[in-house]
Structure 1
Amino acid sequence: MNDWHSWAAIAVFVGAYALIISEKVHRVAAALGGAGLMLAVGATDDGSAFYSEESGIDWNVIFLLMGMMMIVGVLKKTGMFEYLAIWAVKRARAKPFRVMVMLIVITALASALLDNVTTVLLVAPVTLLVCERLALPVAPFLIAEVFASNIGGAATLVGDPPNIIIASRAGLTFNDFLVHLAPLSAVLTVVLILLCRVMFRKSFVFDAARAADVMALEEREAIKDPRLLVQGLMVLALVVAGFVLHPVLGYAPSIVALLGAGLLVAISAVETGEVLTEVEWPTLAFFAGLFVMIGGLIETGVISQVSKSLADVIGGSELGGSMVLLWASSALSGIVDNIPYVATMAPITADLVRDMGGANDHVMWWALALGADLGGNATAIGASANVVVLGIAERNRQPISFWQFTKYGLIVTAVTVTVSAGYVWLRYFAFG
C-alpha cells in the first residue's frame, strides 16, 4: 500500500464518507462526486468501474432494485398496501408496540425467503400508511424493519447476498444455513424486539380516537383495482418463486425481477411512464457511486491489505480467529458494502480454514457470514436495505438522517454481535 493511488483512494473515500455523515452535502452528490474523483485520480478506471465483477458497479443489485421498485409501484396503484396497513393495525388492536412487533416479525421472516432489499421495498409502503393512520412517527418503525431485514436475511443462503458468496466458496447448502444460522436469527429477532421496546419507547403513543377510526374501517374497501391487484400478485408470486428456485433455475435475482417487471407492465393497463416514476432513481445513483468508490479501494489493494492484516491477527487459533473474524467483519461491514468485503475476504477465509485443518463445523465461515450480515445494521449505509429505506423515507417527506439511524444501529449491532459471539462459542466450542 505504498502506491500513492492507494492513499488517494483512501482520502477520497474518507472525504466522501465524512460528507455523507455530516449531511452538509446530499449523500447522492457525495457518492457520485467520490466516484468521479476515484476515476480522476486513477484509483480505478472505466473498465473496472463499469464491467468488473470484483470491483465495479454491481449491476445485479441495481437492476434487482429497479425491477422490484417497478413491481411495487404497480401494486401501490391497486390499494393493496392500504389493505395490508388496515389489516395489520386491526390485528394489533391499534397498539403501536404490537404493530411494530408484527412488522418486525413479518420483515424478518420475509427476508429469510427473499433478499432483504426486496422485503423492505414491500413492507415500507405498508409502514408509511400504518404510521399515517395512527399519527405515529415513521422513522422508528422503518429503522426497526431495516434491522429485522438484515437479521432475518442472515438465516438462509438467499437472505443476504454475502451468504451466496460464502456458500459458493465453502460448498455450503441452503440447509446448512438453515440448521446453523436460522436458530440464531430467531433469537436475535426476539432480542431486537426487546431493544426496540426500550429504544423507541417514546414513540409508542396510543391515540384512542385514531385507533377507533381505523378499527371501524373495512379493509376490503381500500382495494381500488381488483383486476390489477390479481395481475400484480400473480407476477409477484412468480418473482418470489424465481428467487427461491434460483439454485435450480440458474437465473440471477436481477433477471427474475426485470422479467417480472416487464411482464407486469406488458399485461396491465398501467402506463410505462407512470411505472418508471415510481423508481427511486437517486437511490440507484447513490449505489452506483458507492460501488465505484469501494471498487477504487479494491483496485488499489486497500481492502485486500486490510483482509490480509486481519488474517495475520487471527493466526492459527480457531476460537480466537472466529471471534476476531466476527467482530472485525461487523465493524468493516458498517463502513463498506458487505458484498465486496465478503468477496475479498472469502478466499482468505478459505486459506485460514485449510491451515486449521478444515476448521470446526465451518465455524470460520459462520463467523464471516454473521459479522458481514449483522454489521450492516451499524450505519445508515452499511447495507443495501438501509439505503433503500432512507431513500423511500426521503421521497415521502419523512427523512431519516445518517445519525438518527446510526445511533440506534450501533446499539443493535453491538448487542446482536455479542449474542452471536456467545452462540458461536457455546455451539462450536463449549458443546461442539
Structure 2
Amino acid sequence: MFDVQKIRADFPILSREVNGKPLVYFDNGASAQKPQVVIDAISNAYAHEYANVHRGLHTLSNIATDNYEAVRAKIANFLNASDEEEIVFNSGTTEGINMVAYGWAMAHLREGDEVILSVMEHHANIVPWHFLRERMGVVIKWVDTDSTGALDPARVIDAITPRTKLVAITHMSNVLGTVVDVKTICAEARSRGICTVIDGSQAAVHMPVDVQDMGCDFYAITGHKLYGPSGSGAIFCRRERMEEMRPFIGGGDMIREVTKDTVTYNDPPMKFEAGTPGIVQMIGLGVAIDYMQGIGMQAIKAHEDDLRDYAVQKLGGLNWVQVQGTTPTKGAIFSFTIDGAAHAHDISTILDKRGVAVRAGQHCCGPLMAHIGINATCRASMGVYNTKSEIDTWIDALELAHDLFA
C-alpha cells in the first residue's frame, strides 16, 4: 500500500524547517528532492568505488563501469524501450533535445522545412529549433492550446504539411500540467514519415511511460526531476533514427580510431556519448529509478491524482485565485495568480515565510505566457512525498498573501 509518511521519511530534507516553519516543498516541477538511498549511493560511489569508466583494466574502473552501464538497462525498462542500446546518456533533457537538433535535424532538414511545436513548450524544446531557424531557414509552426490549456491532437495533425519534417511536443506541460495525447500525434506523424521528439521531463516522474506504445522517435528525460542527481539524464532514440544520426559532440569514447587524416566512430549509443560522463550522477539516477519503481509508477500517479483533485477542491473556494490550466486529467501542477495582488515574486516570498516553496516567473515558457497574456505566475508542483495537509498549509499561506495585497 502507498504510505506517504513512510516515503517522506526517506527524504531527509523534508524534516527541516524554513523560516521557523515545516518545509512544504512544492517546487518539484523545477527539481525534486533526493531520497537517502540516492544520497548514500552518490556518497558511496565517490568514497569507495570511484574511477573513470570504460577501458580501465583495474578493479575500481571495472566496478564503476559495471555500475554505470547497469543504469542503461534500468532506464530502458523504465521507459519500456525494446533495447538498452536505444538509451543515450546525457546531462538531461536540454542536452538530449539539442542532440536531436544537431545530430538528426541538421542533417535532414533544409531551408523551408517545418518543425511543429505547441505553445506550451519549455525553452529547452524551443531554442534548439530556433537555432535551426536562424542558421538554416527552418520554419517553426506553432499550435495553440484551448482556453482550458488542453492541446487537441487534431490541431497538431492539421498543422502538418508536405514540408513538415519534425514534431516536437511536451508530454506534460511544466506550467499548465496538461497531459498531451502524444500517442495519437506520434502515430499520425510516423505514418507520414515525420520525426517525433517528446519532452518527457515532467511526465516521466508522474506516470508510467511506454515509448513502444507511444510510437515516438525520441523521448527525453532529466534526472533531477526524477528524484535523482542534477547533471543526469537520458534520451530514448528509436534505432532507425539513431542510425540516421551523426555525432553531436566529438571526443573520447565516441570513436573507434583517430588518425591524422581520418576518424571512425563507435557504435551507438557510445557514438553520442563523448568524453568523461557524469559517472556518479548516472549511478545516482539508476538508484532513483529503482526507488520510484519500488513504489510503483501507477501508485505514484494515483497518489498525485488524489493530491490534484484535493487541491482543485480547495482552490475552488478561493475566487480570487486564477489558475492557468484546468483540464481534469492534468498533473498536480498549479500555476496561479492572485487578483489585485503584487507580482508573482512577491506572492512567492510571502509563501516562503510560511515555509511553502513555490516557483515564480515564466517557468522557461515565454511563448505560453504571451499566449495566455500573463507576465508571470506562481507555480505549485507536487510530488510523491507531498500530502493533503501540506496543501492546507499552502492554502492558508495564499489567504495571508491575499489579505496583505488586497
User: What TM-score do you get using the length of structure 1 for normalisation?
Assistant: 0.30
Q: Greater strand share, 1 or 2?
A: 2
Q: Greater helix share, 1 or 2?
A: 1
